[in-house]
Chains A and B, each alone.
Chain A
Amino acid sequence: KQEVTQIPAALSVPEGENLVLNCSFTDSAIYNLQWFRQDPGKGLTSLLLIQSSQREQTSGRLNASLDKSSGRSTLYIAASQPGDSATYLCAAPAETSGSRLTFGEGTQLTVNP
């Protein structure tokens, strides 16, 4: 059974800082993994869907990496801004068949002006 862990649970940084959010998963038989952002009381926004063959994917100030061998993914946010404040969730396939995702508990990020 897939288990996804995100560290840290909460993070508070000053504006402009570069930061790394961590996600680890137990079942490495995955092809890809997805990072989401969620603002309070809102739906999830897909940030990056990273394939195991890519190892890294970039979108603007965001860069995600995926290392199946170590069971880890990281989301790097460059030059953080107050508008980046949100909860960041990673999600991996729950199983080898079906349409289930296993979500981590999320990292709540606060970027202070």
Chain B
Amino acid sequence: DTEVTQTPKHLVMGMTNKKSLKCEQHMGHRAMYWYKQKAKKPPELMFVYSYEKLSINESVPSRFSPECPNSSLLNLHLHALQPEDSALYLCASSQDKFQGARIEKLFFGSGTQLSVL
């Protein structure tokens, strides 16, 4: 199994809602990532988990709250989002975190297309 599975594929939410994005991988990868991607732009890193511990938070607003319940699962909890948060949210995993300037092969999920009204 070389897949990263993300649910839901599409999500529409109001600014007062609370929702969660889910990501799952069964490749035994120990590093997991959340990226945000706006249309026609490259992905932007939000969070990195390594061995289930948060290792990078790219100064993301607190209305985004990541959680790594176990080595296979990664969640992104959303609360009080703004319309400008509408984007494609991508989860990725790699065998391990990067070692210096040596990157690992990244496996991406198909993403959650989020619209905030």
Chain A residues packing against B (C-beta within 8 Å)? 29-34, 36, 41-46, 49, 89, 91-93, 95-101, 103-106
CB nearest neighbor in B for A4: B42
Decide if B74 is an interface residue (CB 8 Å cutoff): no
Q: Quick check: B105 and A34 within 8 Å, CB to CB?
A: yes
- Docked CA distance A44–B92 (Å): 9
Q: Which residues of A sit under 8 angstroms from B90, Cβ to Cβ?
A: 43-44
Residues A42 and B98 in contact in the complex (CB < 8 Å), given A34-B103, A89-B42: no
Residues A31 and B101 in contact in the complex (CB < 8 Å), given A46-B107, A98-B56, A101-B45: yes
Q: Quick check: A43 and B108 within 8 Å, CB to CB?
A: yes
Decide if B97 is an interface residue (CB 8 Å cutoff): yes
Q: Quick check: B109 and A91 within 8 Å, CB to CB?
A: no
Chain B residues packing against A (C-beta within 8 Å)? 4, 6, 31, 33, 41-43, 45, 48, 50, 55-56, 88, 90, 92, 94, 97-98, 100-103, 105-111, 113
Q: Quick check: B41 and A105 within 8 Å, CB to CB?
A: yes
- Tell me the interface secondary structure of chain B in the complex: strand
New contact pairs (13) apart from A30-B101, A44-B106, A96-B101, CB-CB < 8 Å: A29-B101, A33-B103, A41-B88, A42-B110, A43-B108, A44-B90, A44-B108, A45-B108, A91-B103, A99-B55, A100-B98, A101-B45, A103-B43
Residues A93 and B102 in contact in the complex (CB < 8 Å), given A42-B111, A46-B107, A99-B31: yes
Q: Quick check: B101 and A43 within 8 Å, CB to CB?
A: no
Q: Which residues of A sit under 8 angstroms from B110, Cβ to Cβ?
A: 42-43
Q: Quick check: A96 and B100 within 8 Å, CB to CB?
A: yes
- Docked CA distance A104–B41 (Å): 9
Q: Which residues of A sit under 8 angstroms from B56, Cβ to Cβ?
A: 98-100
CB nearest neighbor in A for B49: A99
Q: Quick check: A93 and B41 within 8 Å, CB to CB?
A: no
Q: Which residues of A sit under 8 angstroms from B102, Cβ to Cβ?
A: 30-32, 93
- Docked CA distance A33–B88 (Å): 24
- 9 residue pairs bridging A and B, Cβ less than 8 Å apart: A31-B103, A46-B108, A93-B102, A97-B100, A98-B56, A99-B31, A99-B98, A105-B41, A106-B42
